Chains A and B, each alone.
Chain A
Amino acid sequence: MKEKIAKKIKHIILIIWLVLCIFPLYWLLAFSLKNNNEIFNGNPLALPKVWQFENYKSAMSVGNVLVYFRNSIFVTALTIVIVIITSVMASYALSRLIFVGRKMLNILFVLGLTIPIHAALLPVFLILQKIGFLNSYASLIIPYSAFALSMAILICNSFMAGIPYELEDAACIDGCGTLGIFFRVIVPLMRPALSTIAIFTFLQAWNELMFATVFISDSQHRTLTVGIQTLAGTYSTNWGPIGAALAIATFPTIVVYLFMSNKVQQSLIAGAVKG
């Protein structure tokens, strides 16, 4: 009996938080489909009476949300590719090759983890300004890659530690050189690490706001974060289209997450515990 009550209390606590997690999203979805009259005068918790799909249309056409979405995908994808290539390469050298300064380099990359992105904002801005790289995808991709690198190298190192040395020795006897071993033995075995790195880098690059606000001012190159910020500024009194833009920015990631939540969670655990 006592146990039953305890179980009920547990569920009640968890369900309260569950509602707090989902409710803002429900509310967003509901008001993204309402007209202003219903949003401002109706019951805030109710479903829309007349479903206003026009909100989505105007978010896409006038608000350019699809362009921003495409930009975000492009910037994030390229960042992930760069981070994966550079971190796997560096990690092999850092964990398996022997050279002077290896230890110091390892420490340097670990220290990179604690460095906040603010530190680079002004200098990188000034450099980009000088070489005329503001308002380009590269102005985001390169800094994002640099700031994701530390975590990626740490993740790689921990995966690399699980690869037995004997495999390399065998490949060496078969006549592989250092780079041959890297490409034929190490790279194929690092595949499980890649999704972990990709997920970490995705979360960082997809959500980044500070660099994107400062480095990008034309609407052509805006990523979703900045795009939504500007959109919210211009449509401050017309909630429906903003809601639609927020929904477009949010629900694809949520759906993808729901399909692979296991993988995402395991990756983040691996990254944090090993990092």
Chain B
Amino acid sequence: MDKVRHNKGAAIILLLPAIILFVSIIIIPIICSGYYSLTEWDGIRDKVFIGFSNYRELFEGEVLRGSIKNMLLLALCAVGIQLPLALVFAILISGGIKGEKMYMTVFFIPVMLSTVVIGQLWLKIYNPSHGLLNGILSMIGLENYADSWLGNQGKVLAAVFVPMIWQYVGYHMLLMYAGIKSINSEIIEAAKIDGANGFQIACRITIPMLMPVLEVCTIFAVTGAFKSFDLIYILTGGGPAHASEVPSTLMFTEIFQKNHYGVGSAIAIFIILICFTSAIIIKRIFKRWEV
């Protein structure tokens, strides 16, 4: 058996396809991006090595700073609104309520929808003249509150965040629900006998025991917010006047509309780094909370 496990030839054969895929599509491109980010390049003329100038230029510019602010705000909303909503639903549903199965299934439907479909659907919901939102507002006599939503610099960010948060509540709820179900029911029974009410059980038992799941959810929510591209690209493309810009949409415009390959690559590297570090930081924070 030892010989079988030490079979180098077999190991190479088994690993080769995965390694080729991984190295050629992920590792080498990241190294390339890192290199491009240090050059000035429009894709046609030769690359000119300029060191960290792209990064300096980016961080001194208003646009990237604004986009980082939006990104952080989105992450904050994901953690502060999406996760609590998911947690409340998960606790309510897992507490032996009628229609448990149905709620679970339906709450998860938005996760199954393609982001493009959601984007196009919400474009129509927000449409200033024929959209659902303004239509409902005027039906209930609030036509004064009708708005151009995605065209309004002050409201566009909130308008974009709503579908983003809406889509993934079900996903986090599913993970939390599974976590709650795996808590030993005897503990909860014991608390009930001791006279604890539902709220106390949730705060003192369910949530503390759910910490590992909450950690996973927080990492998903935060890195998901940092990576988010599709919905913003579809709904606004980052506009109007960069009001809903996030780093990924900025990267996309820099590369494919302005041919600023160097600057775009610098943003790509920034996104990788911030996803990485945030995951590590969240792990650290949760470690301190877990007993």
Contacts and interface: CB of A to CB of B under 8 A. Distances in A.
B92 A14 contact: yes
Interface in A96-134: 96-99, 105, 108-109, 112, 114-124, 126-127
Interface in B137-173: 139, 166, 169-171
Interface string A8-33: 00110110011011101101100100
A119 to B, nearest CB: 5
A93 B15 contact: yes
Q: Chain B interface: which size bin?
A: 35 or more
A150 B19 CA distance: 11
Do most interface residues of chain A lie in helix, strand or loop, or is the interface mixed?
helix
A187 to B, nearest CB: 11
Interface string B97-133: 1110001111111111111110011111100011010
Contacts of A224: 114, 116
Contacts of B92: 10, 13-14
B275 A116 contact: yes
Interface stretch (B22-30, B49-57, B76-84): B22-30
B114 A225 contact: yes
B6 interface: yes
Interface string B50-73: 000000000000000000000000
Given A122-B29, A178-B4, 13 more contacts: A13-B88, A13-B92, A18-B103, A18-B106, A22-B109, A27-B121, A109-B18, A118-B272, A177-B7, A178-B5, A209-B229, A225-B114, A261-B105
Interface of B: 1, 4-8, 10-11, 13-15, 17-19, 21-22, 24-26, 28-30, 32-33, 36, 43, 85, 88-89, 92-93, 95, 97-99, 103-117, 120-125, 129-130, 132, 135-136, 139, 166, 169-171, 174-175, 178-179, 198, 213, 216, 220, 223, 226-227, 229-230, 233-234, 248, 251-252, 255-256, 261, 264-265, 268-269, 271-272, 275-276, 279
List the 8 closest pairs (A to B, CB-CB), nearest first: A146-B25, A123-B29, A90-B18, A178-B10, A123-B32, A120-B29, A44-B135, A93-B14
7 contacts: A21-B110, A119-B33, A121-B251, A126-B32, A239-B124, A253-B112, A257-B109
